[in-house]
Amino acid sequence: MKELYDIIINELYEDKSISALLYLLEGGRELSFRYENEEFSVTRDKERFYLNSQDSKKSQIYVDAWQLIEKGQVHGKKFMDIWKDIELLTLY
């Protein structure tokens, strides 16, 4: 039987579950992804979450994962709106 954590990770990669993403980010995980041939990462420290563009070296700063998902911008589009179209690269 799969562990619950493995099920959540599978939901992230296979179903692109936004709730799995939120759970994993709030639990301390970070990730990298590609959208329209540009690489991005979602990282964090003790107080903030960061949406980073690897090409432009710009970062957006948010107080929590909820705010990043709802208000983060990728190529002028809301992160939440493009979530199903991104290519997940690595979950840290």
The pair of structure tokens assigned to 65 is 């994962």
Q: Is the model's pTM score more than 0.75?
A: yes
pLDDT band at 1 (very low <50, low <70, confident <90, very high): low
Give the domain range for residue 15: 4-91
The pLDDT of residue 80? 92
Q: Supply the pLDDT for residue 55.
A: 78
The CB density around residue 15, as the number of other CB atoms within 10 Å, is 11
Express each pLDDT in 30-70 by its tens digit: 999 999 999 999 999 999 999 999 877 889 999 999 999 99
Average pLDDT on 24-30 reads 92
Please give the pLDDT value at position 56.
74
Number of folded domains that form the chain: 1
C-alpha distances in Å from residue 87, one per residue of 12, 39, 48, 61: 11, 9, 24, 22
